[in-house]
Amino acid sequence: MTVEIIPIKIEKEIGPADDIIQLLILSTSDIQNGDIVVFTQKIISKQEGQIVDLSSIKPSLLATGIASEYGKDPRIIQLILNESRRIVRMKDGIIISETSQGYICANAGVDESNVSKNYATLLPKDPNKSAAMLRDQIKEKTGKNTAVVISDTFGRPFRYGQTNIALGVSGISSITDYVGTKDNFGRILRVTEIATVDEICSAAELVMGKSIHVPIAIVRNYVFDNKNSINNLNRIKSEDLFR
C-alpha cells in the first residue's frame, strides 16, 4: 500500500462567513471516494467564530496574579481559565490544563498564532460534530464518500517537540484495535491499540506546515474502517497513570 498526502493551499484568511468546503473544491477538483480530508483546528475555529478580541476580556485577580508571576498577558490567562475544567500543572511559564472538551494540553488550546494582533482563537466547541458536518457537506457538494479529521498540534509527555493529533473525526475509526489477533510468532496481542487518526494527522502535518497557507490535506490510498467513527481517544482518569 502506497499512501499519498496531498496539500491543499488556501491563501484566503478564513472567517465566520466562509464556506470551507467550497474553498476546498475551488482549490482542488480531485476529491475521491475513500479520501481522508484533514482540516487544521485553526481554520475550523475561525470559521465557527471561536475568535476572541482580547480587548473584551477583563482579567480576574487570579488571572492577574498568575500573569504577573509568569510574565504573561493577563487576558490570555483569563481565557485559559475560562476554557479549563482544571489546571493540571503550572511551571516555568507553562500552563497545562484540562479543557472543557476533555483534552489535556498547553494553555487550554488558547492560541495567538496565525490570527490578527490582539486576538486569540479557542478550540472548536464540539470537534466531532464539526467533522461530521464537514463530511456531510463534502458528500453533498461532490457526491464523494470521505472521512474527515480535525487536527491540532499538541506536546507530549517525556518527549521534546510537538506532533499533530485528532480533535474530531467522522467516517473513520479513531483506533485500530489489534487485541485478540496474533503477532508474527503466533502470540495473542492483548493491549495493542493504534491511534490511527493521530498518526494520520501527524502524516498530514508533513505537508501542512505552520505558515505556508496549507490548512487542509488529503490522505489517499489508506484503507480504513468506520466502525467507531467518533470514539473518544482521551484516556479516562481512572486508567491514567499520570493523573
The span from the CA of 2 to the CA of 59, in Å, is 51
What region does 176 belong to: left with phi over 0, alpha with psi -120 to 50, or beta? beta
147-156 and 36-40 strand pairing: parallel
Per-residue pLDDT reduced to its tens digit, 49-63? 999 999 999 999 999
Confidence (pLDDT) at 47: 95
The span from the CA of 190 to the CA of 124, in Å, is 35
Q: pTM to 2 decimals?
A: 0.90
Confidence (pLDDT) at 142: 95
Confidence (pLDDT) at 204: 96
Confidence (pLDDT) at 156: 82
Confidence (pLDDT) at 230: 62
Confidence (pLDDT) at 224: 87
Per-residue pLDDT reduced to its tens digit, 39-50? 999 999 999 999
What stretches in the chain show pLDDT beneath 50? none
C-alpha cell at 78: 483569563
Confidence (pLDDT) at 175: 84
∠ CA 22-28-31, nearest 5°, is 90
The span from the CA of 42 to the CA of 116, in Å, is 13
Confidence (pLDDT) at 242: 67
Residue recorded with cell 487576558: 75
What is the C-alpha radius of gyration for the chain, rounded to an integer number of angstroms? 19
Per-residue pLDDT reduced to its tens digit, 50-100? 999 999 999 999 999 999 998 999 999 999 999 999 999 998 888 999 998
Confidence (pLDDT) at 194: 82
List the domains of the chain with CATH numbers: 4-49+124-231 (3.30.1330.100), 52-121 (3.90.1660.10)
